[in-house]
């Protein structure tokens, strides 16, 4: 928020403006805290008094406004059991897991029209995308992630990214993102290494940004840049959820439970005891894509302050939910493990399947473009239309 106002002061250069802006900022902060306390959830087991304290202190420290000092490696990490025998990547994780603040290279503080106005955003699409995935972003902007009014409510889009490579390669990719930003204004980029094992960090940085810039956003879709998301269906589902009312918490996707950390060092998902002690993970939703309420996103952010980072980002979200006493839920329309097509001789690209889904994992850019247009076709006839079957389900 401070950042926006610095800009307006600079561009308008008048003292009066800065007084007005300062006053507005105070009012905004006042309503922010007032609003949050007004909206205390009754049926949830969240320790709200605690939450409020966290939110206030984290908002006040405003780490983004001070160039964060370079995060130093934690030498004490070498004291964990059997440190020398751990793979290099795990050593790296242990050395740097406490680092949670990185400077922003690309920001869009007014994406939601300002913090207080962010309730105008019904669905914020938050898409994890690495700098190199230029073609995917191009297709998403033209298809399901298009910023638009859908059934009367606003969909907004943000790609979240870190940096890749070093030296010239890094500069080149940063420049690419900057060019895209000047045209589309839809990228948040932080100066950290964008790797599979840093996805949790990316999530936390986003949530911190959201708390600052879009705290009243109604709902968020959080997902990968290679999924097919039927965002119009998401809006219908969420509008129905809102209409039914009764609770603020929502976290829905492909539910995974009764699993634990993989202790095999060869696996991409390897997590040794030194990083995560317990043999079981709490229930969580597969990271390919899930829907959550703005309320739940803020609760997750608050809880994340006191949970050490583990490199598996979707599990980490589950850990934050568990700590808040909130549950993730399964939604049949989210197929992050691929689409189950009943029967053989069926066209796996039958648009009728995609028309009633919320999300299907992994689709090539060209297929994405084609499918999005096919499901928009008013002449598309789906014989046994089961539409609505997946849209209206609730596990309350």
Say whether residue 92 binds ligand NAG (CB under 6 A). Answer: yes
Which of these ranges, 91-99, 128-136, 179-187, 339-347, lies near ligand NAG under the rule CB under 6 A?
Answer: 91-99
CB 123 within 8 A of CB 242: no
CB of 42 to ligand NAG, least distance (A): 20
- In terms of CB distance, is 113 or 282 closer to ligand NAG? 113
**Residue 335: strand, helix, or coil:** strand
Binding residue (CB under 6 A) for ligand NAG from 141, 170, 193, 362:
193
Residue 159 CB: number of other CB atoms within 10 A?
A: 27
Sign of the CA dihedral running 392, 224, 317, 62: negative
Binding residue (CB under 6 A) for ligand NAG from 77, 177, 360, 371:
77
Closest CA to 237 of 380, 123, 353: 123
CB of 314 to ligand NAG, least distance (A): 16
Binding mask 145-184 for ligand NAG (x = CB under 6 A): ----------------------------------------
Which segments of the chain are extended strands (E)?
A: 104-106, 121-128, 148-150, 153-163, 187-193, 219-224, 228-229, 251-253, 255-256, 284-285, 289-293, 329-330, 334-335, 359-360
Which of these ranges, 21-29, 45-53, 60-68, 135-143, lies near ligand NAG under the rule CB under 6 A?
Answer: 21-29
Reduce the secondary structure of 277-314 to three states and give it as a string: CCCCCCCEECCCEEEEEHHHHHHHHHHHCCCCCCCCHH
Binding residue (CB under 6 A) for ligand NAG from 11, 45, 76, 82:
76
Paired strand residues for 124: 156, 220
CB of 103 to ligand NAG, least distance (A): 11
Distance CA 327, CA 300 (A): 12
Residues in the chain: 396
Say whether residue 98 binds ligand NAG (CB under 6 A). Answer: yes
- In terms of CB distance, is 91 or 355 closer to ligand NAG? 91
Say whether residue 195 binds ligand NAG (CB under 6 A). Answer: yes
**Residues touching ligand NAG: how many (CB under 6 A)?**
21
CB of 303 to ligand NAG, least distance (A): 18
Say whether residue 24 binds ligand NAG (CB under 6 A). Answer: yes
Closest CA to 200 of 311, 308, 300, 315: 311
Say whether residue 68 binds ligand NAG (CB under 6 A). Answer: no
Say whether residue 269 binds ligand NAG (CB under 6 A). Answer: no
Query: What tokens appear for 217 in the block?
Result: 């956003």
The residues binding ligand NAG (CB under 6 A) are 24, 27-28, 31, 74, 76-77, 79-80, 89, 92-93, 96, 98, 116, 119, 192-193, 195, 197-198
């Amino acid at each position: 928020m401070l950042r926006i106002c610095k800009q307006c002061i600079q561009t308008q250069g008048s003292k009066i403006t800065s007084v007005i802006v300062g006053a507005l900022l105070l009012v905004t902060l006042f309503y922010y805290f007032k609003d949050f306390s007004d909206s205390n959830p009754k049926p949830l087991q969240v320790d709200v008094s605690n939450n409020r304290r966290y939110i206030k202190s984290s908002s006040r420290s405003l780490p983004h406004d001070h160039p964060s000092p370079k995060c130093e490696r934690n030498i004490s990490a070498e004291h964990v059991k059997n440190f020398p025998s751990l793979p290099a990547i795990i050593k790296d994780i242990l050395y740097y897991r406490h680092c949670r603040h990185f400077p922003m290279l690309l920001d869009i503080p007014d994406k939601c029209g300002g913090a207080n106005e962010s309730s105008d955003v019904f669905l914020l699409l938050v898409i994890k995308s690495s700098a190199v995935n230029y073609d995917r972003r191009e297709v998403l902007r033209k298809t399901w992630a298009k910023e638009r009014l859908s059934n009367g409510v606003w969909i907004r889009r943000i790609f979240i990214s870190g940096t890749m490579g070093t030296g010239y390669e890094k500069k080149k990719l940063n420049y690419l993102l900057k060019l895209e930003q000047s045209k589309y204004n839809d990228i948040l980029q932080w100066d950290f290494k964008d790797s599979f094992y840093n996805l949790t960090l990316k999530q936390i940085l986003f949530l911190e940004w959201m708390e600052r810039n879009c705290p009243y956003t109604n709902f968020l879709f959080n997902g990968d840049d290679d999924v097919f998301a039927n965002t119009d269906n998401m809006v219908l589902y969420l509008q129905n959820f809102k209409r039914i009312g009764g609770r603020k918490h929502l976290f829905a996707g492909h539910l995974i439970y009764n699993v634990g950390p993989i202790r095999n060092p060869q696996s991409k998902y390897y997590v040794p005891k030194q990083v995560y002690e317990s043999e079981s993970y709490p229930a969580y939703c597969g990271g390919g894509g899930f829907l959550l309420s703005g309320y739940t996103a803020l609760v997750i952010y608050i809880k994340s302050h006191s949970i050490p980072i583990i490199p598996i980002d979707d599990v980490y979200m589950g850990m934050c939910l568990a700590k808040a006493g909130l549950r993730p839920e399964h939604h049949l329309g989210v197929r992050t493990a691929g689409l189950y097509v009943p029967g053989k001789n069926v066209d796996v690209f039958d648009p009728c399947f995609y028309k009633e889904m919320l999300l299907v994992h992994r689709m090539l850019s060209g297929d994405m473009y084609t499918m999005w247009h096919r499901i928009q076709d008013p002449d598309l006839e789906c014989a046994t239309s089961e539409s609505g079957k997946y849209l209206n389900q609730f596990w309350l």
